[in-house]
Amino acid sequence: MNHLHLRSAGTSLLLAFDSGEAEIVHWGADLGDAVPDLGLLRGPVPHSAHDVPVIAGLLPQASSGWLGRPGLRGHRTGEGGLPGFVFSPALRVVAAESTLDGRGARIVQADSNAGITLTSDVALHDGGLLEISHELTNTGTGAYQLDELAAVLPVPGAATELLDLTGRWCRENHPQRHRINQGTWLRSGRHGRTGHDSSLLVAAGTQGFSNRTGRVWAVHFGWSGNHEQYLDSLADGRRMLGASELLGSAEVVLEPGESYRTPALYAAYSDRGLDGVTDAFYRWFRSRPQHVDTASGRQRPVVLNTWEAVYFDHRLEPLVELATLGADLGVERFVLDDGWFRGRRDDHAGLGDWFVDESVWPGGLTPLIEKVNSLGMEFGLWVEPEMVNLDSDIARAHPEWIVGPSATPHTSGGRLPLEWRQQHVIDLVNPDAWQYIYGRLDALLTENNIAYLKWDQNRDLAEHGHAGRPSVHEQTLAYYRLLDALKAAHPKVEIESCASGGARVDLGVLQRTDRVWASDCNDALERQTIQRWTEAVIPPEIVGAHVGPTHSHTTGRYHDISFRAVTALFGHFGIEWDIRQATPAERESLRRAIALYKLHRGLIHTGERVNADLAEANLALHGVVAHDRSEGLFAAVALGTTAAETPGRIGLPGLAPERDYIVEAVLPGPVDGDWENTFNQIAPPAWLGTGAKAPGRFLTEVGLPLPILSPEHGLLLHVRATD
């Protein structure tokens, strides 16, 4: 076998073996059935260079002439205890086979002198998403210290621009882009979790690539701990997109026979811009047997979370009043947030003591749960199991369970990391600590009718160590084992990954959880950008999106109910607001928004996401279209004031050109009484009150004139085919 050719959904991955290494010679557009003799790809040999063509292997190596960032770094200790031996392996293919009915490959490469074997698994899933991971095994006689093992993919010279995402607390997943130049572009995440500033997506594309146009090669690294993502651009013109776990000093040392497996690198190629990349990720997510809609057999419930309604003020009567009002509006899941456990009257104490506080809940949580269930709603609970306050019974009883850089607990002279939100980290690598946390969560879920856990994690893992050595790697794996064990014991319980909002959003944690909290910011204006880019990778049915208070407590902005509702509809819809304080008109608008969500959530949570390319930076149009093109739901949003006095005609992407459609504005509407706040005009476009009927090609290419939206307002449009 001199090559393997994987094909799916318009994408080809071509692996060649003639050099003795495994080499990806093409990742991109589908090549069709016929593959010529790959010897024609043997490149020239330039002056003042290696005397043979340099191979950029599946794992780039200096032994093959690669002068860029190596795929593997590690060493053994030699005679006399000196480190640094067998620093440069020469891995060569010893076996290669097709897997997954021709959609995958397993390649084994080995270096007997170095005493290491590398097994690489490659899968090109049905929707076109590529998945790559490696497993390194120590086949030698002594220990092997692994410093880095990366998954990399080549991108062609046609990719001239790079887009990635960055952010901070309450401003996650904002795009930044620049031209690709020679050298190594690197993003490091040292938070011990994915991080608010982590790039959910790194995309290289042709010049000017956009939402709907251009060729794009994009990757995501599925890991919830420290990591690095990079683009290596060499002087010979070759470019490699890569990612790896960022390991601490001697954090992974493989004894003979032991193995290390990399997190998976997920990648998508698109010849139709970023929306094509998104479609590949969504198809993969929705094909998984554990995906929320597939596994539960029902659509995503409307959520009411109590945090921004009551904060730490936990009393049965106000909470029952909230639950009653919520049920009347159409809420289907009621979530009790922080403040229910022992000693937790503020965020200075109680973390780690996962027992219901008898002084606040003398009858336990049962009276509230039974009331919530009697109103036809599920009950959910907030937890933060990986964290501990020093002012807690468990910290006083087991100071050795608190993570720090020292081998001894702080009560015996060891040093603790700086506090973060008055809390520290429980050492899940310690089997006793892990068992305690598992036991308490298992008891809560066994003793109470809890359908959902909002699992929070509110600090970075700075100076994170076990027994005096760095241990983010083992802590992350222990966290995964905790989720796996709880899921096995309580398979019907849904778990949300929340980490001060969006600091742990990745495909590693989403193999084990059912939802993410994109941000602690419920400001609808901020959420427009946060959700657009979170949902570039993560489908809306697992991205929590709530209608927050009129006055946002994280930004100080005020937004009307229709803008907040239009924003929250394009996710897993919920409410995080003291609806007791809402006016009758606001409640009626909220009731209408919930009804719209229930009517269209099947479309929102199964359809193809589309994002229009608009010249006006302060105007956005996004939506979701059914795969059979029978209907669509779009939001037109004014993010600020626009340069032109009218927005002009805006095309609706994703419709079938030959089908006829009716377009209607569904939110806000005259029943809301807020037309004047939403629009800034003397007269509306002719179609707005009556709807518009036109062919899909016309609606996409010519478009419809939008009303003049007031800044920080939105309009929801429903489109349905008439044939």
Give the closest residue to 183 by CA, choosing from 65, 68, 71, 72.
Answer: 68
Active site residue 232: no
Q: 276 Cβ partners below 8 Å, 6+ apart?
A: 216, 268, 270
Cβ atoms 630, 600 nearer than 8 A: no
DSSP H or E run through 93: strand 92-99
- Strand positions, DSSP E, 174-222: 174-179, 183-189, 202-205, 216-221
- Annotated active-site residue in 456, 560, 672, 674: 456
CA distance 221 to 230: 11
Which residue is listed with tokens 């993570």? 403
Q: How many residues does the chain have?
A: 723
CA distance 142 to 224: 30
Which residue is listed with tokens 């047997």? 289
CA distance 535 to 516: 11
Question: 160-178 b/e with 16+ CB inside 10 Å = b?
Answer: bbbbbbbbebbbbbebeee
Long-range Cβ contact pairs of 429-436 (< 8 A, separation 24 or more) = 429/466, 429/471, 429/474, 429/475, 429/478, 430/400, 430/401, 430/466, 432/398, 432/401, 433/398, 433/401, 434/478, 434/481, 434/482, 436/394, 436/398, 436/401
Q: How far is CA 170 from CA 173, 455, 462, in A?
A: 10, 18, 20
Q: From the centroid of its chain, how far is CA 617? A: 25
Classify residue 202 as left (phi > 0), alpha (psi -120 to 50) or beta.
Answer: beta
- Annotated active-site residue in 520, 523, 560, 672: 520
Between strands 494-497 and 452-455, the pairing is: parallel
CA distance 265 to 227: 12
Active site residue 101: no
Most distant pair of Cα atoms in the chain: their distance:
86
The token pair that represents 715 in the structure block? 């309009």
Q: How far is CA 664 from CA 593, 596, 672, 719, in A?
A: 15, 13, 16, 6
Residues recognised as catalytic: 456, 520
